[in-house]
Chain A
Amino acid sequence: MASLKHLLGIAGLNPVTVTALLDLAESYVLLNRSGKTQRDSLRGRTLINLFFEDSTRTRTSFELAGRRLGADVVNMSVATSSVTKGETLLDTAATLNAMNCDLLVVRHNRSGAPALLAEKVSAAVINAGDGTHEHPTQALLDALTIRRHKGRISGLTVAICGDIAHSRVARSNILLLTMMGNFVRLIGPPTLLPGSIGINGVEIFHSMEEGLKGADIVMALRLQKERMSSGLVPSSREFFAYYGLDRKKLSYAKPDALVMHPGPMNRGVEIDSDIADDDARSLIKEQVEMGVAVRMAVLDTLARSSEV
């Protein structure tokens, strides 16, 4: 069993830990499906979901994961606009320490905020997305989804398309996928795809036709509206024309290529509904299911590590 104090990112994990987490998550998938959902490995433990940024799906996924393992789950939503930046972050840390929180799930719009909290709280901290840095549980659930469909999580060609520059999902996925021995292809307009993201095992493309060639998996990323207003992309229409995943562009990938999206989707911007809703090609719904299992595995592993 892997031992972890916090889960702040995929950086810092190794293939053995990743595999152990995926194996444990796999067992939870079966349990969840069997309907025997009540477990008690986290009985008496307190899990706090601390969300400085709105996210119904990630919060709900962690909440469900915590409850299925028997934890007491508390949701704290702190709209960033109402707090004077991070000052509250450390005040919050002091409050959480006083509450004897065991597991702290944090989402924040600033890179490094969970790392800052981890220095100050006694709880195990799980990064549920920080700024444009990392979103490790998303990468783990994507890996689990891929492994279940392709039978392995190595030697595959995975294309990640769209707004790489602002995507924590992309960063965590690039780190995990290259660590496990896959080939990653990044595709997007140069304004959303910094060359400096290139590491071993990563190739950069600006054309979907070239980039998708031979891909086993195609991941589309959410494009925020503000990328248009800040001038990084002239319009969503042009973005869709060149980088939106539709049936024609998907045909450049392998015939059995599968489609993923971390959600929530902007239909008609980065992905066509026709593809998103095609159950033969799209794993998007299954990603959500895997999310709960992966988060159970992460919570369980961190709780065990803190017992030692």
Chain B
Amino acid sequence: MSTLFRKVSYLDEAAQNLVEGDLLVRDGLIADFGQNLGRPDGAEVIEAEGAILAPGLVDMRASLGEPGFEYRETIASAAQAAAAGGITSIAVLPDSQPPIDDPALVHLIIARGADTGSVDLLPYAAATRGLKGEELAEYGLLRAAGAVAFTDGGKAIASSRLMRLALSYASGFGARIVQHPEDAELAKGGAATAGARATWMGLPGIPAAAEAICVARDIRLAELTGGAVHFAHVTTGEALELIRRAKEKRLRVTCDTAPPYFDLNETAIGDYRTYTKLSPPLRAEEDRQAVLAALKNGTIDAIASDHQPRDADDKRLPFADAAPGGAGLATLLGITLAQVHNGVLTMAQALALLTRNPAEWLGIEAGVIAKGRKADLCLFHPERAWVVRAGKLPGKAQNTPFDGRALEGAVLGTWKAGKRVYG
């Protein structure tokens, strides 16, 4: 079985420039690409002039509702949303019920991903047993089972002693610790970034410095232990500056951010819109600008969807009581492309942040277009317009913070190992 994409644009081998040409997929692999491949016998031909053929997106962090929160989302419904968003690999957070802190559960998540036929699920395992922040999980056994890294998901590893142990112990297995960078004591009970807006809305505030305080501590602990730390969804200029300097010192420090933090600021909360209640909370405009600058200069390694499915009952509550988190699978590409249209990122930069960089970080064979690689592909039209509508998103979770946002850049089709799974 083969598919020929005709007159599409794709990144050249150096992944710097878009070139126009044809790409042939045979038996689930990328067989060939170049100018005018003709019409191989029996190949299904996809004519998509003006469209861009990218590697399937690699989402380096999402929570899926299953197991334990199927009322919010199932793996099947998340797979639908992912396919519609052009995503073919997802690194899954361990904050399910039960938490992924046992090798058998790691196997389960991988197997459930394979069952979908459209998306690879790469499980993170819990950094601490039961995500309780008390004792280390079994990094060796979990890693052998296929865990990609260790994290307590949306909970920071609060204890300095435990974080030191985690970084140190994980380094023995060549594994990374992923931190939710937020000083737990300062963040306790908070619902929005501390400042005039939170004060006047009467919302308990989390100082933006809670992020930098945690990042500063953990960079120092990484240096102390020789361990590797990754900061998830970094949102403030101050933390990004610390990370930039740590990278300059060649410490083993990496980070990502998520679309809400470079597309929205705290004003999106408006009149207590709980779909914009996120963790970490939306920040001031200066911080949004700092995130954009760090995407551009390479301080930020990847963009993750930060997908957190919530249902109406989780969200239709007074703001302080509503569950934080936003759906992000279907909008990951579109929100990122907005920064290409704005001239902040080049198309090559944007695609690297969504494909090659996270794939390298995860250590998986994905995220690049190369002969012999698995044909995980995302075909999108960079200018086709659509409007994000909560209630009309693919999949079950509808809690998008981008409700009403008009976007340019729509997925036309998604292929997993050569098989069309969307469009």
A222 at the A/B interface (Cβ < 8 Å)?
A: no
A185 at the A/B interface (Cβ < 8 Å)?
A: no
A113 at the A/B interface (Cβ < 8 Å)?
A: yes
Q: Is the CB of A113 within 8 A of B202?
A: no
Q: Which of B194, B205, B313, B319 has the most CB of A within 10 A?
A: B319
Give the number of chain B interface residues (Cβ < 8 Å): 21
B97 at the A/B interface (Cβ < 8 Å)?
A: no
Contacts of A85 in B (CB 8 A): 317-318, 321
Inter-chain CA distance A134–B318, complex, in Å, is: 14
Contacts of B322 in A (CB 8 A): 86
Q: Is the CB of B313 within 8 A of A131?
A: no
Please, which residue of chain A has its CB at the minimum distance from the CB of B318? A110
The smallest beta-carbon distance between B318 and chain A, in angstroms, is: 3
Contacts of A56 in B (CB 8 A): none
Q: Which of B318, B319, B320 contacts A89 (CB 8 A)?
A: B318
Contacts of B14 in A (CB 8 A): none
A132 at the A/B interface (Cβ < 8 Å)?
A: yes
Q: Which of B202, B316, B320, B322 has the most CB of A within 10 A?
A: B202
CB neighbors of A among B308-329 (8 A):
313, 316-322
Q: Which of B195, B201, B272, B316 contacts A90 (CB 8 A)?
A: B316
A168 at the A/B interface (Cβ < 8 Å)?
A: yes
Contacts of A111 in B (CB 8 A): 201-203, 272, 318-320
The smallest beta-carbon distance between B188 and chain A, in angstroms, is: 11
Q: Is the CB of A115 within 8 A of B200?
A: no
- Size bracket of the A interface: 20 to 34
Q: Is the CB of B319 within 8 A of A87?
A: no
A-B contacts at CB below 8 angstroms, number:
67
Q: Is the CB of B199 within 8 A of A197?
A: yes
Please, which residue of chain B has its CB at the minimum distance from the CB of A167? B202
Q: Is the CB of B272 within 8 A of A115?
A: yes
Q: Which of B200, B313, B319, B320 has the most CB of A within 10 A?
A: B200
B196 at the A/B interface (Cβ < 8 Å)?
A: yes
A105-142 to B contact mask, C-beta < 8 Å, 1/0: 00010111101100000000000001111100000000
Decide yes or no: A89 and B196 within 8 Å by CB, A111-B201, A132-B202 being known contacts.
no
Please, which residue of chain B has its CB at the minimum distance from the CB of A120? B316
A194 at the A/B interface (Cβ < 8 Å)?
A: yes
The smallest beta-carbon distance between B153 and chain A, in angstroms, is: 22
Decide yes or no: A112 and B316 within 8 Å by CB, A196-B195, A196-B196, A197-B196 being known contacts.
no
Q: Is the CB of A112 within 8 A of B201?
A: yes
Please, which residue of chain B has its CB at the minimum distance from the CB of A119? B271
Q: Is the CB of B201 within 8 A of A133?
A: yes
Q: Is the CB of A116 within 8 A of B196?
A: no
Contacts of B200 in A (CB 8 A): 11, 171, 197
Inter-chain CA distance A113–B322, complex, in Å, is: 11
Inter-chain CA distance A196–B194, complex, in Å, is: 8
Q: Is the CB of B271 within 8 A of A131?
A: no
Please, which residue of chain A has its CB at the minimum distance from the CB of B194? A196
CB neighbors of A among B142-196 (8 A):
194-196
The smallest beta-carbon distance between B275 and chain A, in angstroms, is: 13
Inter-chain CA distance A85–B315, complex, in Å, is: 12
Decide yes or no: A130 and B202 within 8 Å by CB, A86-B321, A112-B272, A196-B195 being known contacts.
yes
The smallest beta-carbon distance between B189 and chain A, in angstroms, is: 10
The smallest beta-carbon distance between A115 and chain B, in angstroms, is: 6
Q: Is the CB of A86 within 8 A of B202?
A: no
Inter-chain CA distance A110–B321, complex, in Å, is: 8
CB neighbors of A among B95-130 (8 A):
none
Please, which residue of chain B has its CB at the minimum distance from the CB of A130? B202
Q: Is the CB of B318 within 8 A of A116?
A: yes
The smallest beta-carbon distance between B404 and chain A, in angstroms, is: 16
Inter-chain CA distance A199–B200, complex, in Å, is: 10
Inter-chain CA distance A111–B366, complex, in Å, is: 46
Please, which residue of chain A has its CB at the minimum distance from the CB of B196? A196
Q: Is the CB of A86 within 8 A of B199?
A: no
Decide yes or no: A196 and B318 within 8 Å by CB, A87-B313, A112-B272, A115-B271 being known contacts.
no
Q: Which of A85, A87, A116, A168 has the most CB of B within 10 A?
A: A116
Q: Which of A87, A89, A171 contacts B202 (CB 8 A)?
A: A171
The smallest beta-carbon distance between B399 and chain A, in angstroms, is: 16
Please, which residue of chain B has its CB at the minimum distance from the CB of A11? B200
Q: Is the CB of A133 within 8 A of B321?
A: no
Q: Is the CB of A116 within 8 A of B272?
A: yes
Q: Is the CB of A86 within 8 A of B194?
A: no
Contacts of A11 in B (CB 8 A): 200
The smallest beta-carbon distance between A104 and chain B, in angstroms, is: 16
The smallest beta-carbon distance between A78 and chain B, in angstroms, is: 13
Inter-chain CA distance A116–B196, complex, in Å, is: 21
Decide yes or no: A134 and B202 within 8 Å by CB, A115-B272, A196-B196 being known contacts.
yes
Contacts of B316 in A (CB 8 A): 86, 90, 116
The smallest beta-carbon distance between A293 and chain B, in angstroms, is: 26
The smallest beta-carbon distance between A5 and chain B, in angstroms, is: 14
Q: Which of B195, B201, B271, B318 contacts A86 (CB 8 A)?
A: B318
Known pairs A110-B319, A196-B198 / 12 extra A-B pairs, C-beta < 8 Å: A85-B317, A86-B316, A110-B321, A111-B202, A112-B203, A112-B272, A112-B319, A131-B202, A171-B200, A194-B205, A196-B199, A199-B196
Q: Across chains A and B, which 10 residue pairs bring their CB atoms closest together, nearest first?
A: A133-B202, A110-B318, A111-B202, A112-B272, A86-B317, A132-B202, A196-B196, A113-B318, A196-B199, A85-B321
Instruction: Report A's interface with B, CB cutoff 8 A.
Output: 11, 85-87, 89-90, 108, 110-113, 115-116, 130-134, 165, 168, 171, 194, 196-197, 199
18 contacts between A and B (CB under 8 A): A85-B317, A85-B321, A86-B317, A86-B322, A89-B317, A111-B272, A112-B202, A113-B318, A132-B204, A133-B202, A168-B202, A171-B200, A171-B202, A196-B195, A196-B198, A197-B196, A197-B199, A199-B196
